[in-house]
Amino acid sequence: MRFKLLLLTGLTVGLASCASTPPAPLAGNDFVPILPRTAQNDPSVVGEKVRWGGVIAGVKPGKTDTCFHVVSHTLDDSGRPVDDDHSDGRFIACAHGFFDPSIYSLKRQITVTGTLQVPTIGKVGDMRYIFPHVAADVVYLWPKDVPMDNSGMYYGEGFGMSPFGDPMDGPMTPWMGPDIGMPW
């Protein structure tokens, strides 16, 4: 009984520490704790190293680099943008190389690390906007969240349908395969 309790405690602590650790490319603690909306009008932050993230609002590949227009969100302990209705402003992050806009697409979450440059003046709609500009050395694209139901089962388009047909047709299971007489 005591062993099970220790094992459960160890697993819980282990999982909690994994969940709050940034991926290796985003690790570090030498980032200045400044928000994009603060950096808009503060020339003293040019040259400072930041770790910012949010959702992609635009991607523009150029001849030698790709620039991302990002709606900033607060980062959680792992460095991932928090998915909420609060924004810390917007920023532009440019990184050397080609990042395919079909992969780094609108509304995908990214976190960047890099050095603050002189802000870029642009527009959001018809509104003039001062974008803090990050020369990014890391652009981390977060995996898409895949919704799952509580059972862990795959269901087809119809409610209660499995990929093997109507469950009312007979005793079928989702693990049937060639070794138990299925035709594939």
Q: What are phi and psi of 42, to 5 degrees?
A: -120, 95
Residue 134 C-beta-side C-alpha neighbours within 13 Å: 28
Question: Under 8 Å CB-to-CB from 155, ≥6 apart: which residues?
Answer: 149, 161, 162
Q: What are phi and psi of 133, to 5 degrees?
A: -120, 125
Question: Under 8 Å CB-to-CB from 168, ≥6 apart: which residues?
Answer: none
Q: What's residue 20's pLDDT?
A: 76
Q: Is the dihedral of CA 98, 102, 106, 110 positive or negative?
A: negative
Q: Report which DSSP code applies to 120.
A: E
Q: Taking the domains of the chain in order of start, what are their residue ranges?
A: 25-141
Give tens-digit pLDDT for 53-88: 999 999 999 999 999 999 999 999 999 999 999 999
Q: How far apart are CA 143 and CA 157, in angstroms?
A: 24
Q: How far apart are CA 73 and CA 89, in angstroms?
A: 8
Give tens-digit pLDDT for 34-57: 999 999 999 999 999 999 999 999
Correct CATH for 25-141 of 2.40.50.140, 3.40.50.12160, 1.20.120.420, 3.30.1330.20: 2.40.50.140
Predicted model pTM: 0.70
Compute the CA torsion angle 35, 36, 38, 41 (nearest 10 deg). Answer: 160
Give tens-digit pLDDT for 114-170: 999 999 999 999 999 999 999 999 999 999 976 665 665 544 444 444 444 444 444
Q: How far apart are CA 116 and CA 136, in angstroms?
A: 9
CA 49, distance to chain mean position in Å, is 20
Is pLDDT larger for residue 181 or for residue 102? 102
Q: What's residue 149's pLDDT?
A: 59
